[in-house]
Amino acid sequence: MNILVCVKRVPAPGARINITSDGQQVDTAFLGFTVSPHEECAVEQAVQLVEKHGGEVTVLTLGPAEAQEQLRTAVSTGAVKAVLVPIDTTDWDPQRTAQAIATVITELEATNGKYDLILFGNESADSCGYQVGIRAALKLDRPIVNGAKGLDIENSVAVIRRESDAGVEIYKLKTPACVGVKEGINLPRYPTMKGRLASKKVEITQSTASGEVGGLKLIMLRRPPERASNTKILGNGPEAASAVVDLLEELGVFK
Amino acid sequence: MTVLAVVEHDRGIITTASFGVLTAARNLAKQMGAKFEALTIGANADALSEVISKYGASTIHQAHHQALIDFGPEAWGESIAQVVRKTSPQVVISSGTERGHEIIAQAAARLDLPAAMNCLEFDKDFNGTQPLKVVRARWGGSLMEESQIDAPIKLVTLANHIVEPQEELSTAPATVLAIDVDLDDSVTQSFVQDRVERVAGVTLATSPVVVSGGRGVGSAEAFAPLEELAGLLNGVVGCSRAVTNNGWRNHTDQVGQTGTRIAPDIYIACGISGAIQHWVGAMASKNILAINIDAQANIVTKAGYAVIGDLHVVVPAISAEIRRRRNL
Ligand SMILES: Cc1cc2nc3c(=O)[nH]c(=O)nc-3n(C[C@H](O)[C@H](O)[C@H](O)COP(=O)(O)OP(=O)(O)OC[C@H]3O[C@@H](n4cnc5c(N)ncnc54)[C@H](O)[C@@H]3O)c2cc1C
């Protein structure tokens, strides 16, 4: 079973997100980068599935050259092939991204055969567009369900568990299929020594693809208004317990 | 001109997010001088026309097909696409929920149109003929994006809890139009096949008290005092992503952008630094009490209340004080 996982490189901001002076991007000057959490879990799920059913995992990212770092991270945790679709540093819009990804996947499949599963993150952590996987799946003529908190393969059928307010919903898609994965589906492993070595050695395939510019255009980013807070310090150490319980009584949460 | 609201429902039961969507669609239609219409998917939602009418929709389209007996993202998206092709609305709006995003993305892909999710504001000068400027949430709400949808038909989802639902004061009964949609095999396999209902009870999302722990707790076992405090307050335990990543607690307990969003009466954050992705899940709490050794920690500066100290002593001391006052 061959699985392709599409991942995105995103900054990892801490206490606040700063924006560049032109308002076009997150200021990443002092930030590290990571794989979007949903996709980190998608890679882990793919690796678990091939451990169980055989096959191999390929990771693909559309992003700047530096996104190789995220591909290598995925290889260090069990993916074996990596594909970079290089773009200039700024984000592409969702329509353009999906088109380019679908084009590259079609090319890859022309030589390697169809992937049984193509996994996406439910939404990217930074732009939160909720649509690239769905658009790409349609272009590839494959079914897709988002929000997967469980995913297994039984007799060439992808069984997807998804949470709702009422409980858990089960979906079943005949493979080849696409799935949008959410964090919590598993606990991603740490890289092994062997994985780290493999990630250094892996040859990253570069596949260029263009895509027509879509209709959603960024004007500028801004930070939401910050809630002013005058923190009331109730005390230091265990002596504060009495003041805390007074507060709990006052708020009516402790009677 | 028309604004079309796509009503999210679960087997005929309307979701609360839909009321905000109906209200926002009506407001936008009024501003544009356009008609406000609604769409329900599946005959099991036909009865919703009564409540939808109260929000002032002039026409309600009811998409029908024998396969539409439960939720299916592709069949729903295709149904929306077909109704949109037939009625050519200027704006299509649905809820900023898992299903809402999914069906709007499905419809947009099928119509080859852009879509903007989790919109917080729409341009007050929009009259239906220009590109639509929106403000939408990025980073799960930690960052806002002003953008422009440049397309003849604008597809959007409305961020949840942004618009207060409001029925229309005087409404005429809506015209109801049944419309048979055409769904082939390519969209009918992705329906819900089975369900496991949740056992009723307080959850992280609904509990009025949440006692949450972060990396500062140090281990899975060290959550015991937090469990005890939560128990005394009839609350539940939450955690940060550092905790789930370490395998100390299950992801179902995680508060934040990629975890659960909560709005309890009090959030007690122990040994949590308050990274933006955590904060965005906790900031709707009515009160926040941070317990942290670091007086400069982000959560301490943002919280309403704080205790500076080691959670391993402060938390048990709070529990002891509660027991003392209750004579336990
Ligand atoms: C895209 C993305 C999505 C994310 N989504 C989420 C999410 O949904 N939820 C989430 O929580 N995080 C999320 N994160 C991770 C987030 O950025 C932080 O890494 C994480 O929240 C940190 O957890 P923490 O506060 O427990 O740990 P730390 O940041 O390490 O903070 C530990 C805190 O504990 C205090 N402390 C240490 N010892 C003690 C003690 N004995 N007593 C009292 N205080 C003590 C320290 O002073 C410090 O403030 C996400 C990150 C990214 C990039």
Nearest Cβ partner for A174 among B189, B208, B298: B189
What CATH number is given to the structural domain containing B145?
3.40.50.620
Residue A214 lies in a domain: no
Q: How far apart are the first and last CA of chain A?
A: 58
Q: Under a CB-based contact definition with an 8 Å cutoff, are residues A178 and A197 in contact?
A: no
Phi, psi at B170, each rounded to 5°: -120, 120
Quote the pLDDT of residue A15. 87
Q: How far apart are the first and last CA of chain B?
A: 67
**Eight-state DSSP code of residue A26:** B
What CATH number is given to the structural domain containing A19?
3.40.50.620
Residue A166 banded pLDDT, cuts 50, 70, 90: confident
CB contact A121 to B (< 8 Å): no
Residue B202 lies in a domain: no
Token pair, residue B316, equals 């048990």
Q: Which atom of ligand 1 is nearest to the CA of A14?
A: 17
Going from the Cα of B311 to the center of ligand 1, the distance in angstroms, rounded, reads 15
CA of B43, closest CA in chain A: separation in Å? 21
DSSP-assigned states of every residue in A92-147: PPHHHHHHHHHHHHHHHHHHH---SEEEEESS-TTT--S-HHHHHHHHTT--EEEE
B88 & B176 share domain: yes
Residue A227 lies in a domain: no
Residue A98 lies in a domain: yes
Q: Which atom of ligand 1 is nearest to the CA of B311?
A: 42
Residues in chain B, pLDDT under 70: none
- Strand boundaries in chain B, DSSP class E: 2-6, 9-10, 13-14, 35-41, 59-64, 91-96, 115-122, 132-138, 143-149, 154-159, 175-180, 194-197, 209-213, 236-239, 266-270, 288-292, 305-308
B219 & B149 share domain: no
B173 & B222 share domain: no
The predicted model scores a pTM of 0.96
CA of B280, closest CA in chain A: separation in Å? 11
Quote the pLDDT of residue A225. 85
Domain-terminating residue out of B153, B188, B223: B188
Q: Which atom of ligand 1 is nearest to the CA of B243?
A: 26
B:188-247 residues touching chain A, CB 8 A cutoff: 189-198, 208-209, 232-233, 235, 241, 244-245, 247
Residue A210 banded pLDDT, cuts 50, 70, 90: confident
Helix (H) or strand (E) holding A4: strand A2-7
B:244-303 residues touching chain A, CB 8 A cutoff: 244-245, 247, 251-252, 254, 257-259, 265-266, 273-277, 283, 287, 289-290, 295, 298, 300-303
Collect all residues with Cβ–Cβ distance below 8 Å to B102 and sequence separation of at least 6.
A130, A134, A146, A147, B73, B77
Residue A88 banded pLDDT, cuts 50, 70, 90: confident
Quote the pLDDT of residue A11. 95
Domain-terminating residue out of B188, B219, B242: B188
B222 & B264 share domain: yes
Residue A203 banded pLDDT, cuts 50, 70, 90: very high
Quote the pLDDT of residue A241. 98
B218 & B313 share domain: yes
Token pair, residue A198, equals 């493999």
Collect all residues with Cβ–Cβ distance below 8 Å to B201 and sequence separation of at least 6.
none
Quote the pLDDT of residue A90. 77
C-alpha separations of B120 from B81, B113, B116, B264 in Å: 24, 20, 10, 23
DSSP-assigned states of every residue in A146-194: EEEEEEEEETTEEEEEEEETTEEEEEEEESSEEEEE-TTSS-PPPPPHH
Tell me whether residues A245 and B325 touch, CB distance under 8 A. Answer: yes
Q: Is B244 in the pocket of ligand 1 (CB under 6 A)?
A: no
Quote the pLDDT of residue B19. 98
**Eight-state DSSP code of residue B265:** S
What is the signed CA dihedral for B70, B74, B77, B79, rounded to 10 degrees? Answer: -70
Tell me whether residues B145 and A244 touch, CB distance under 8 A. Answer: no
CB contact B96 to A (< 8 Å): no
Residue A217 lies in a domain: no
B177 & B54 share domain: yes
C-alpha separations of B274 from A127, B47, B294 in Å: 21, 45, 12
Quote the pLDDT of residue B217. 98
Q: Is B277 in the pocket of ligand 1 (CB under 6 A)?
A: yes
B87 & B151 share domain: yes
Mind listing the pLDDT tens digit for each residue in B233-274?
999 999 999 999 999 999 999 999 999 999 999 999 999 999
B11 & B84 share domain: yes
What CATH number is given to the structural domain containing B214?
3.40.50.1220
Please provide the size of chain B in residues.
Answer: 328
Domain range for A190 is 2-206
B276 chain-A contacts, CB cut-off 8 A: 13-17
Nearest Cα neighbor of A26 from B259, B148, B256, B139 is B139
Planar angle of CA B279, A43, A192, nearest 5 degrees: 100
C-alpha separations of B52 from B5, B172, B173 in Å: 10, 11, 10
Question: Rounded to whole angstroms, how far apart are CA atoms A152 and A155?
Answer: 10
Q: Is B116 in the pocket of ligand 1 (CB under 6 A)?
A: no
Quote the pLDDT of residue B172. 85
Residue A251 lies in a domain: no
Residue B199 lies in a domain: no
Domain range for B313 is 209-325
pLDDT of A229 > 90? The answer is no
Question: Number of structural domains, chain B?
Answer: 2
Residue B194 lies in a domain: no
Quote the pLDDT of residue B20. 98
Question: Rounded to whole angstroms, how far apart are CA atoms A181 and A139?
Answer: 19
B141 chain-A contacts, CB cut-off 8 A: 224
B81 & B123 share domain: yes
B231 & B159 share domain: no
Residue B274 lies in a domain: yes
CB contact A77 to B (< 8 Å): no
Mind listing the pLDDT tens digit for each residue in A115-143?
999 999 999 999 999 999 999 999 999 99
Mean pLDDT of A190-195: 94
**Eight-state DSSP code of residue B284:** T
Quote the pLDDT of residue B320. 97
Quote the pLDDT of residue B283. 94
Residue A226 lies in a domain: no
Token pair, residue B105, equals 């993305």
Token pair, residue A128, equals 């939160």
The ipTM value here is: 0.96
Question: Number of structural domains, chain A?
Answer: 1
Question: Rounded to whole angstroms, how far apart are CA atoms A18 and A7?
Answer: 23
If you take atom 23 of ligand 1, which residue's CA is the nearest one? Answer: B242
pLDDT of A254 > 80? The answer is no
Q: Under a CB-based contact definition with an 8 Å cutoff, are residues A104 and A207 in contact?
A: yes
Q: Amino acid identity of A32?
A: G
Q: Under a CB-based contact definition with an 8 Å cutoff, are residues B176 and B232 in contact?
A: no
Cα–chain-centroid distance for residue B111? 25
Residue B200 lies in a domain: no
Residue A59 lies in a domain: yes
Q: Which atom of ligand 1 is nearest to the CA of B310?
A: 42
B58 & B20 share domain: yes
Domain-terminating residue out of B188, B218, B240: B188
B18 & B78 share domain: yes
Nearest Cα neighbor of A4 from A95, A74, A87, A94 is A74
CB contact B11 to A (< 8 Å): no
CA of A117, closest CA in chain B: separation in Å? 15
